[in-house]
């Protein structure tokens, strides 16, 4: 090759080299640019996701806090149920909140601190003394002083989970036990406080080891990398993902403090599976495995959590207790040289058992029907997405004590009914709700025969004809009318035929008899159909419909004459709303399930205070209530008298529909309202009337809960008069068919009908007695010696008069 | 009560049957026919299904004597109810005082919350409702104030001074509403 050619060639090479170099530079610049873009993308991802809302948190729903005071009617058994429901744990020595100890007549416990609205209750060490029926005394053991009244922490009754099924309780770093932090760092990432997100030396070391062994035996993930992996990335084990992980770890460390990263780690870490819900975070894991809040965990329990990080399913302490114990003790022994934790404590911890609870609190709520109602009420104000992600705390009116008693009563009675009426076992369906009559709070609810099944909620969604439950509305409309109806107005119970929509309609009484002229209250007490239809038509369907709306029924329904016999369809919930204003004497308080809502940090968001929306005229409500009491005294609800204790006065109404498809009872005591519906999902006959079915269940529920007698408060312009039970005319107390009935001043009878036997006797003036029982029946004792029954046996006056009469 | 019982026994011995129905009033007379005569007579609109054993006898106006409404309680029952009432009353009074303290400090919300706690224990106490009415009046919730005062009045019975207070609240609330 000629030198000139050689030069040419070398110039060519040089040229090429230069080009290559240029190309390389350009390539690097482009690559760097891409990498920068990639990094900035990652950066944005890190910042956005980490700075924003980090986790979707489930909404937690709590029951009412149990209020305890000396003299309260709660047995030791019921109190223990409450404790176990709140996951208090029996202990040999009371050390931490949530511990309790049962003795023969006392319970010693350390309560859990909590804050509700702006009220904070500290943890207290208490001794409660019980007798057979009640809590006798509460003593604060730290001061040895008696306690007047105290709220326990509200029990968790359920959650609304995020769509992807994560179950998480957030914890702030300051609430994580220091020893747990120390253990975590010592076990997982000793240089956590020094490195910048990745530990370069550890990576090199691990790479070498892995190369030597030709497989992955050692990892070098820092806590930051682990967090990045769980928080931002998939679980795929590729090189690209590793690089991404390292970059993001660096970025995370660049932007955030070590404490923030550690806190996020504690909340993100995956620690097992509860059915379809993944357990994320140490706080949730603490509830899941130990049934306690994180703050209450002891050293050996904390060590178990750290031990499980290596493989939550592999070291699941419930499934593999031996493996878990071994791993925990390994962790504990490693800590001896690497932490400041006292060696004696560590040794002591390794001697402990696992300390887990056998069964975790199920993530499925045991009270699906109540939770459904809560959700429905929440959805009126919150978006569904917020309920699944904002971690709201919802404090409700739910009472686990009442719920348990109600479930037991229903279960028992349904079995009995099915057996005695030869109904196929477990086919009788039920829906029931129990409320407090004075503040509208829902205490308990059963949406179907299977109490735990979260499916079709019959309290809310099964709309059934209500039968005679409609009648009180008709009678209220009449009593509210200016036409002067009163409890003794005579109603015509004779054959009735009318044309409705071109069709002949001949309604019948249930017993297919006609009873002639029946007093107003008796027509209701015995639930006669014909007088009810006549009354409704006379008052006007529009007026009845108006009364229905006044009582709080909001849907508009078409009203026909048959509606007067209850062809109107309603849910159990709607019926409860309808009867609530009657139960409270005419004061309309909305039915409520939620007392307050707070953020996940406990900051109050909204309170639902007690309210009386409007008031009905108390006089017709009073008169109607007297009649509804007579349903139980002498009418279709008489069976209740055999079920309930003698001192418990109640009012209510039975309802039955065609072919005995629905059996209803709605009624109330002085402080509780309950509605019971029995029926079948396939709409077949239940073989039960309201009286033989729902009433029996209702009675069993009311019998099993503490409740006050219904006291009707007599309005000022109402007076009780003695009248003839057939004609309604004024008469003397001694007459054989005299009864006492309340009248308004405007509607009081004026006609006097002395009883024939007494005409020659000295007629006593008619007494106007206030606050007298609804009717004091008069005995058939010889007229000349007035029977004690006609006298008010509550008053000394009555006895005195009677004795006087006897010796006259 | 003892005197009453003794008198009763003596009279039973003296008058025999004449007085027996009076003494034993609390037990409803079980006449199966009559009981069957009053089944639930609900909306048998188009047809009436025959219930086995359904009696045709009506509940005649002169049916067996009705049970007395306020039956005599056994001594045990009376004690239980008395103890309930005493325990409730003692605790609601304490809560009422606590609420009144909050009211003096114009902490209306706290006061209302304490009263709501008390009302859950005993809702028949007119004083509690009155205090709630006062709180709502102070907060300018006039309709609520009026309704609560009405409720208090409704339960006040013979407590005239409380009724007067409630009337004042109602007047005051109405003045602001109209």
How high is the pLDDT of residue A716? 87
Shared domain check, A121 and A230:
no
Say if residue A270 is in the same domain as residue A208: yes
At residue A119, the 3 state secondary structure works out as strand
Bigger pLDDT: B29 vs B76: B76
CA distance A470 to chain B (A): 10
Q: Residue A269: is it exposed, middle or buried by C-beta count within 10 angstroms (0-12/13-18/19+)? A: buried
Residue A7 lies in a domain: no
The Cα–Cα gap between A542 and A557 comes to: 11
C-alpha gyration radius of chain A: 37
Residue percentage of chain A with pLDDT more than 70: 91
Q: Which residues pair with A743 in a beta bridge?
A: A719
A229 and A338 both lie in a single domain: yes
What is the three-class DSSP state of A359? coil
Between residues A44 and A704, the one the model is more confident about: A704
**Domain membership flag for residue A472:** no
Give CA angle at A462 (A461, A464), nearest 5°: 140
DSSP A288: H
Stretch A471-480: mean pLDDT: 96
Give the 3-state secondary structure of residue A677: strand
Kindly give, in sequence order, each residue whose CB lies less than 8 Å from that of residue A271, ignoring residues fewer than 6 positions away. Answer: A279, A280, A281, A282, A284, A285, A288, A305, A308, A309, A312
Task: Please state, in angstroms and rounded to a whole number, the distance separating the CA atoms of residues B139 and B142.
Answer: 8
Contact A565 B72 (CB under 8 A): no
Are residues A754 and A792 both part of a single domain?
Answer: yes
Question: How far is it, in rounded angstroms, from Cα A788 to Cα A785?
Answer: 9
Place of tokens 């409803």: B28
Any B CB within 8 A of A541 CB: no
Task: Please tell me the predicted confidence (pLDDT) of residue A120.
Answer: 86
Enter the pTM of the model.
0.81
State which H helix or E strand residue A431 sits in: strand A429-436
Task: Indicate whether A166 belongs to any domain.
Answer: no
CB atoms inside a 10 Å sphere around CB B1: 8
Indicate the residue among A318, A350, A382 that finishes a domain. Answer: A350
Please give the backbone phi and psi of residue A495, each rounded to the nearest 5 degrees, phi first: -50, 140
How far apart, in Å, are the Cα atoms of A608 and each of A433, A577, A597, B70? 20, 18, 9, 38
Say yes or no: A253 and A104 in one domain.
no
d(CA A781, CA B67): 15
CA atoms of A454 and A794, how far apart (whole Å):
50
| Tokens, residue B130 | 């009155």
Residue B148 near residue A609, CB atoms below 8 Å: no
Per-residue pLDDT, averaged over A519-548, amounts to 95
Shortest Cα distance, chain A CAs vs residue B8, angstroms:
10
Shared-domain flag, residues A267 and A205: yes
Q: Give pLDDT, residue A46.
A: 80
Element (H, E) at A656: strand A651-656
CA A205, CA A178: separation in Å to the nearest integer? Answer: 30
Measured distance CA(B12)–CA(B21) in Å, rounded: 10
| Domain end among A350, A365, A381 | A350
**Beta-bridge mates of residue B117:** none
Domain coverage including residue B156: 75-177
SS3 A127: strand
Token pair in block for residue A132: 């057979």
| Residues B87, A71: C-beta atoms closer than 8 Å | yes
Which comes out higher in pLDDT, residue A162 or A331?
Answer: A331
Is residue B21 scored above 60 in pLDDT? no
Does A309 reside within a domain? yes
Distance (Å, whole) CA A693 – CA A526 = 17
Using 50, 70 and 90 to split pLDDT, how confident is the model at B44? Answer: very low
What residues does A166 pair with on adjacent strands?
Answer: A278
The verdict on A92 and A194 lying in the same domain is no
Answer yes or no: is pLDDT of A488 > 50: yes
Count CB atoms within 10 A of the CB of residue A696: 25
Active site residue A337: no
Q: From CA B36, how far away is CA B24, in angstroms rounded? A: 23
What CATH number is given to the structural domain containing A294? Answer: 1.10.3810.10
Pair A229, A332 in one domain: yes
Q: What CATH number is associated with residue B149?
A: 1.25.40.10
Does residue A59 sit within a domain? no
Question: Residue B166, Cβ neighbours under 10 Å: how many?
Answer: 27
Output the pLDDT for position A514.
93
Distance CA A64, CA A237 (A): 48
Partnered with residue A344 across adjacent β-strands are none
Contact A111, A126 (CB under 8 A): yes
Interface of A with B in 588-617 (CB under 8 A): 607, 609-615
Answer whether A510 sits within 8 Å of B40, measured CB to CB. yes
H or E element, residue A61: strand A59-62
Confidence of residue A195 (pLDDT cuts 50, 70, 90): confident
The answer on A81 and A143 residing in a single domain is: yes
Interstrand relation of A106-110 and A114-116 (parallel, antiparallel or unpaired): unpaired
Classify residue B19: in a domain, yes or no: no
- Please check whether residue A13 lies inside any domain of the structure: no
d(CA A58, CA A162): 6
Given this model, what pLDDT does residue A6 score? 76
What is the average pLDDT across A67-89?
94
Of the candidates A718, A725, A769, the residue with the CA atom closest to the CA atom of residue A748: A718
* Counted domains in chain B: 1
Cβ atoms within 10 Å of A647's Cβ, excluding its own: 16
Domains identified in chain A, total number: 3
What is the average per-residue pLDDT within A471-490?
A: 92
- Categorize the per-residue pLDDT at A772 as very low, low, confident or very high, splitting at 50, 70 and 90: very low
Q: Tokens at residue A300, please? A: 């050996």
Please state, in angstroms and rounded to a whole number, the distance separating the CA atoms of residues B18 and B21: 7
DSSP B123: T
For an interface test with B, the pick among A490, A639, A650, A789 (most B C-beta atoms closer than 10 Å) comes out as A789
Q: Provide the CB-side half-sphere exposure for A450 (13 A, CA).
A: 6
Of the candidates A121, A123, A182, A188, the residue annotated as catalytic is A188
Contacts of B25 in chain A (CB under 8 A): 779, 788-789
Distance from CA of A438 to the nearest CA of B (A): 6
Q: Please tell me if residue A512 touches chain B, with a CB cutoff of 8 Å.
A: yes
Tell me the sheet residues that pair with A128: A107, A138
Does residue B174 belong to the interface with chain A, where contact is any CB pair within 8 Å?
Answer: no
Q: A15 exposed, middle or buried (CB, 10 Å; 0-12, 13-18, 19+)?
A: exposed
B131 falls within a domain: yes
With a cut of 80, say whether residue A65 has pLDDT above it: yes
Question: Which stretch, A242-256, A725-739, B70-84, B99-113, has highest mean pLDDT?
Answer: B99-113
Residue with tokens 């005319």: A729
* Structural domain ending residue among the three candidates A350, A381, A407: A350
Whether residue A300 is predicted with pLDDT greater than 90 in this model: the reply is yes
Q: Are residues A226 and A323 in the same domain?
A: yes
Nearest to A439 by CA among B115, B141, B30, B101: B115
Question: Is 90 exceeded by the pLDDT of residue A113?
Answer: yes
CA separation for the pair A648, A113 (Å, rounded): 38
Give the closest residue to A528 by CA, choosing from A545, A542, A546, A515.
A515
Instruction: State the Cα–Cα distance between residues B6 and B19, nearest whole angstrom.
Output: 14
In chain A, the residue whose alpha carbon lies closest to the alpha carbon of B156 is: A713
Query: Tokens 């209850």 appear where?
Result: A566
So what's the pLDDT on residue A231?
A: 80
SS (H, E, C) A585-617: CCEECCCECEEEEECCCCCEEEECCCCCCEECC
The pLDDT assigned to A106 comes to: 97
Q: How confident is the model at residue A219 (pLDDT cuts 50, 70, 90)?
A: low
More confident residue, A209 or A154: A154
Query: Does some domain include residue B115?
Result: yes
Q: What are phi and psi of A116, to 5 degrees?
A: -135, 125
A665 beta partners: A654, A676
Full domain range(s) for residue A132: 70-148
One domain for residues A253 and A122: no
Q: What average pLDDT does the segment A155-159 reach?
A: 92
Closest residue in B to A531 (Cα) is B41
Reduced to 3 states (helix: H, G, I; strand: E, B; else coil), residue A740 is strand
Q: Could you tell me if A232 and A297 lie in one domain?
A: yes
Contacts of A615 in chain B (CB under 8 A): 147, 150-151
| Measured CA distances, A392 to A59, A268, A387, A563 (Å) | 5, 19, 7, 43
| Extended strands (E) in A161-264 | 166-168
Residue at A484 is within a domain:
no
Interchain pair A725, B123: CB under 8 A: no
CA A267 to chain CA centroid, Å, is 28
What value does the mean pLDDT of chain A take? Answer: 87
Cα A632 vs. chain centroid, distance in angstroms? 30
The rounded distance, in Å, linking the Cα atoms of A641 and A650 is 9
- Is it the case that residue B81 has pLDDT exceeding 90? no
Residue B40 lies in a domain: no
Q: Considering the domain boundaries, does residue B117 fall inside one?
A: yes
Question: Looking at residues B124-152, what average pLDDT do you find?
Answer: 96
- So what's the pLDDT on residue A45? 80
Q: Which residue has the tokens 């300018």?
A: B140
Task: Report residue B56's pLDDT band, with 50, 70 and 90 as the boundaries.
Answer: very low
Helix crossing, A178-188 with A321-338: angle to 10°?
Answer: 90
CB B65 within 8 A of CB A738: no
Residue B21 lies in a domain: no
A691 assigned to active site: no
B146 part of a folded domain = yes
Residue predicted with more confidence, B58 or A243: A243
pLDDT, residue A372, reads: 94
Backbone angles phi, psi at A150, to 5 degrees: -155, 140
Does A71 contact B61 at a Cβ distance shorter than 8 Å?
A: no
Q: Is B105 in the A-facing interface, judged by CB distances under 8 Å? A: no
Name the residue with tokens 């103890």: B83
Average pLDDT (A645-672) is 95
Inside any domain, residue A179: yes
CA distance A150 to A288: 28
A138 or A163, greater pLDDT: A138
């Amino acid at each position: 090759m000629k030198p000139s050619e050689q030069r040419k060639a070398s110039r060519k090479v040089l040229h090429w080299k230069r080009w290559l170099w240029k190309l390389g530079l350009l390539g690097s610049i482009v690559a760097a640019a891409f990498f920068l873009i990639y990094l900035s993308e990652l950066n944005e991802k890190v910042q956005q996701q980490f700075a924003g809302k980090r986790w979707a948190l489930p909404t937690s729903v709590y029951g009412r806090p149990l209020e305890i005071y000396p003299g309260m009617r709660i047995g030791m058994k019921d109190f223990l149920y409450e404790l176990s429901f709140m996951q208090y744990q029996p202990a040999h020595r009371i050390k931490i909140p949530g511990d309790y100890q049962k003795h023969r007549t006392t319970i010693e416990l350390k309560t859990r601190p909590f804050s509700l609205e702006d009220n904070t209750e500290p943890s207290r060490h208490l001794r409660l003394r019980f007798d057979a029926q009640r809590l006798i005394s509460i003593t604060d053991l730290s001061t040895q002083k008696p306690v007047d009244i105290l709220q326990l922490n509200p029990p968790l009754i359920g959650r609304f989970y995020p769509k992807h099924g994560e179950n998480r309780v957030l914890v702030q770093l300051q609430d994580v036990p220091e020893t747990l932090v120390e253990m975590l760092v010592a076990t997982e990432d000793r240089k956590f406080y020094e490195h910048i997100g990745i530990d370069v030396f550890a990576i090199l070391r691990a790479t070498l080891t892995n190369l030597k062994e030709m497989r992955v035996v050692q990892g070098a993930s820092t806590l930051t990398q682990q967090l990045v992996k769980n928080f931002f990335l998939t679980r795929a084990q590729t090189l690209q993902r590793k690089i991404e992980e390292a970059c993001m770890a660096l970025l995370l460390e660049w932007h955030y403090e070590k404490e923030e990263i550690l806190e996020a780690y504690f909340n993100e870490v995956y620690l097992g599976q509860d059915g379809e819900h993944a357990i994320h975070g140490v706080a949730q894991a603490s509830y899941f495995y130990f049934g306690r809040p994180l703050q209450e965990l002891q050293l050996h329990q904390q060590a178990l959590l750290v031990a499980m990080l290596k493989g939550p399913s592999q070291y699941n302490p419930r499934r593999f207790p031996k493996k878990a114990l071994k791993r925990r003790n390994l962790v504990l022994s490693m800590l001896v040289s690497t932490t400041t934790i006292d060696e004696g404590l560590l040794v002591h911890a390794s001697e402990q058992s696992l300390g887990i609870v056998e069964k975790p609190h199920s993530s499925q709520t045991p009270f699906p029907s109540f939770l459904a109602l809560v959700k429905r009420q929440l959805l009126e104000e919150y978006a569904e997405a917020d309920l699944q992600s904002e971690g709201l705390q919802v404090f409700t009116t739910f009472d686990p004590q009442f719920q348990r008693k109600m479930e037991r009563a229903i279960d028992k009675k349904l079995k009995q009914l099915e057996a005695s009426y030869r109904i196929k076992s477990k086919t009788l369906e039920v829906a029931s709700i129990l409320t407090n009559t004075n503040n509208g709070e829902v205490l308990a609810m059963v949406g179907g025969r299977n109490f735990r099944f979260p499916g079709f909620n019959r309290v809310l969604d099964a709309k059934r004809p209500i039968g005679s439950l409609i009648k009180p509305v008709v009678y209220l409309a009449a009593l509210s009318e200016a036409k002067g109806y009163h409890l003794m107005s005579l109603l015509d119970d004779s054959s009735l035929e009318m044309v409705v929509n071109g069709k002949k309609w001949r309604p019948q009484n249930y017993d297919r008899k006609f009873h002639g002229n029946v007093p107003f209250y008796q027509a209701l007490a015995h639930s006669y159909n014909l007088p009810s239809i006549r009354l409704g038509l006379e008052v006007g369907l529009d007026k009845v419909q108006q009364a229905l709306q006044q009582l709080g029924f909001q849907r508009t329904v078409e009203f026909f004459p048959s509606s007067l016999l209850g062809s109107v369809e309603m849910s159990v919930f709607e019926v409860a709303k309808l009867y609530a204003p009657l139960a409270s004497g005419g004061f309309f308080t909305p039915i409520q399930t939620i007392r307050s809502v707070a953020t996940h940090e406990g900051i109050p968001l909204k309170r639902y205070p007690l309210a009386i929306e409007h008031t009905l005229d108390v006089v017709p409500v009073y008169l109607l209530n007297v009649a509804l009491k007579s349903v139980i005294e002498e009418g279709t609800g008489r069976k209740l008298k055999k079920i309930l204790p003698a001192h418990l006065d109640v009012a209510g109404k039975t309802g039955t529909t065609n072919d005995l498809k629905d059996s209803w009872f709605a009624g109330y005591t002085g402080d509780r309202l309950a509605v019971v519906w029995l029926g079948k999902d396939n709409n077949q006959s239940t073989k039960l009337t309201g009286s033989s079915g729902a009433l029996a269940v209702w009675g069993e529920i009311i019998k099993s809960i503490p409740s006050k007698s219904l006291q009707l408060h007599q309005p000022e312009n109402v007076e009780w008069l003695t009248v003839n039970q057939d004609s309604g005319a004024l008469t003397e107390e001694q007459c054989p068919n005299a009864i006492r009935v309340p009248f308004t001043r405007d509607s009081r009878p004026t006609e006097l009908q002395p009883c024939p036997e007494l005409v020659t006797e000295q007629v006593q003036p008619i007494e106007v007695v206030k606050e007298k029982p609804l009717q004091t029946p008069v005995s058939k004792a010889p007229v000349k010696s007035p029977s004690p029954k006609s006298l008010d046996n509550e008053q000394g006056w009555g006895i005195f008069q009677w004795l006087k009469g006897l010796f006259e | 009560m003892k005197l009453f019982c003794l008198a009763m026994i003596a009279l039973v011995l003296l008058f025999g049957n004449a007085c027996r129905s009076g003494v034993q009033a609390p037990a409803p007379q079980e006449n199966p026919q009559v009981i069957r005569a009053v089944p639930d007579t609900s909306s048998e609109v188009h047809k009436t299904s025959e219930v086995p054993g359904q009696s045709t006898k009506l509940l005649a106006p002169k049916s067996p004597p009705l049970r007395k409404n306020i039956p005599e309680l056994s001594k045990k029952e009376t004690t239980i109810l008395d103890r309930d009432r005493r325990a409730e009353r003692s605790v609601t009074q304490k809560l009422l005082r606590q609420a009144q303290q909050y009211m003096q400090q114009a902490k209306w919300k706290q006061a209302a919350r304490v009263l709501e706690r008390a009302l859950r224990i005993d809702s028949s106490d007119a004083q509690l409702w009155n205090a709630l009415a006062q709180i709502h009046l102070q907060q300018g919730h006039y309709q609520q104030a009026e309704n609560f005062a009405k409720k208090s009045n409704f339960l006040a019975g013979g407590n005239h001074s409380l009724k007067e207070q409630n009337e004042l609240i109602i007047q005051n609330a109405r003045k602001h509403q109209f």
